[in-house]
Structures are given as structure tokens and as C-alpha cells.
Homo-oligomer: A and B are copies of this chain.
Amino acid sequence: MTMAHAKRPKALLFDVFGTVVDWRGSIAREAQKLLAPKGHDRDWDAFARDWRGRYQPAMERIRSGERGFVRLDILHRENLVETLDAFDITGLDEAEIDHLNHAWHRLDPWPDAPSGLARLKREAIIATLSNGNIALMVNMARNGGLPWDVILGAEVARAYKPQPEAYLRSCEALSLGPGETMLVAAHNSDLVAAAATGMRTAFVLRAEEYGDPAHEDAKARGSYDVIADDFHDLADKLGIPRP
């Protein structure tokens, strides 16, 4: 399927963790690099998955109204303390914990992401629509060469996905109706929530995010406007030529 120019979304809004960057591999490498020299021998992939696993429950307290909005850096740090405890890792000072927490600011992009985003940017606004906070997204973009036009998402919207406000306020910030935009994500639940607000949807398969063919996001499970293998395949299907 190729999309004619007139039907192409004016803005592509991207989920980031897992869709644009490899959080699992990056966090496992950073944890090992900091902690192995201190004598800790652990399954660093499991460490990364444990830390990430505390992400949705932490946000859920905010989505439910039990807790006021705080940015993701703060949730990540609280969760890291829990993960360190769960893995029986002690003896880190506060600066070391902060450094490891900022590994989220240094996540490596999937190999196609920098060049794919640059290609997509020639024909559409490209924006983050992540639960990550602004500083995290800015530092990650500078680290990984991600050429965003604008950082949107939870901190600008003051709402965490999949709350509809997170999507709708991001579109509104661009002065676009949801139907003029498209969410690009590797996660079925995110795309289903975006579609419910009127956004168009593109599923990008990131099989290595979890490295588990049985994972719910190892295939597209909904009816999306585009299903793509990576960002260049997405550009092909949107009719955006190679440079």
C-alpha cells in the first residue's frame, strides 16, 4: 500500500521506548557496565525487564488520580531503587543511582531510526508522543541523532498514555485534528488507544524489543492504517521516496 500525498498524515507522532529506541539492550548494557565491576553478577537482561516492568504500575497511580502528575524521571528512579533491592544490589551512592537512572536518556536507537526519521521528516512533522519527560527525550535525541521537530507527549499534555488526553492534547499542540495525524508505535495497546481518539495508526514491528515471539506485541493484532517492518518501510508505504 502506498499513500498519495493528499492522504498522507501531516504529522507523525511516535511512541519512543521500544518503537524508536532499544530500551532492553541499552539498559542491560548500562547496568552491567556500572555494576559488574562492583562484583555483581546478575542476569542484566532480566534486570532491564524488571525495571521496565515497574513502569506501568507506577504510571497507573497517576492515571487513576491517586497521585498527582510527576515526570517519568522521578518514577524511573523510584522504580530503580525497587529493582536494585529485588536483585539484592547494595552499596551504590546517590550519584551512581542517578547515573544509572539517566541511562534512559542514553538509550540507543534501532539502527533504522535516525535515517528513517530524517526521511519521514522531509514530508511530515515528526514528534515524540512518549510517556518520557521532556529532558529525557531531548537528551536521548542528542545522544542518538533523532531529528525531532518537536517534543510532545506526557509532560506537555500532563497526562500519561493511554489516557485520551495524552493523544488529543498532542494533536492540539500542533493545531491539527487527530485525523490529520498518525501514531507510530510498536505496541498494540498504544495504537488501539490512539485510534479511539481519531488518530491514524502505524504498527512498526520491533521483534527484538522483548526478543520473545510469544509476546503480545510480536505481531500486529489490530486493524491499522499501515503495518511496517521499520521506519524506511513506513516511509515506503507512506509514499515518501528515498533520498
> Which residue of chain B has the shortest Cβ distance to A125 in the bound complex?
B138
B142 and A174 contacting across the interface, CB-CB below 8 Å? no
Q: Give the chain B neighbours of A176 by CB distance below 8 A.
A: 135
Q: Does A173 contact B (CB under 8 A)?
A: yes
Instruction: For the complex, give the distance between the alpha carbons of A148 and B125 in Å.
Output: 13
- Closest B residue to A142 by beta carbon equals B149
Q: How large is the interface on A (under 10, 10 to 19, 20 to 34, 35 or more residues)?
A: 20 to 34
| CB < 8 Å neighbour of A149 from B138, B155, B156 | B138
Q: How many copies does the complex hold?
A: 2
B interface footprint on A73-96 (CB within 8 Å = 1, 0 otherwise): 100000000000000000000000
Complex: how many Å from CA A141 to CA B150?
Answer: 10
Q: A59 at interface (Cβ–Cβ under 8 A)?
A: no
A175 at the interface (CB under 8 A from B): yes
Give Cα distance in the complex from A235 to B240, angstroms.
36
Q: Which among A73, A133, A142 has the greatest number of chain B C-beta atoms within 10 A?
A: A142
The smallest beta-carbon distance between A104 and chain B, in angstroms, is: 12
Q: Is A151 an interface residue (CB 8 A)?
A: yes
- The reply on A134 being an interface residue by CB < 8 A is yes
User: Is the beta-carbon distance between A174 and B125 smaller than 8 angstroms?
Assistant: no
CB nearest neighbor in B for A149: B138
**Among the listed B137, B142, B173, which residue makes an inter-chain contact with A134, where contact means beta carbons less than 8 Å apart?**
B173
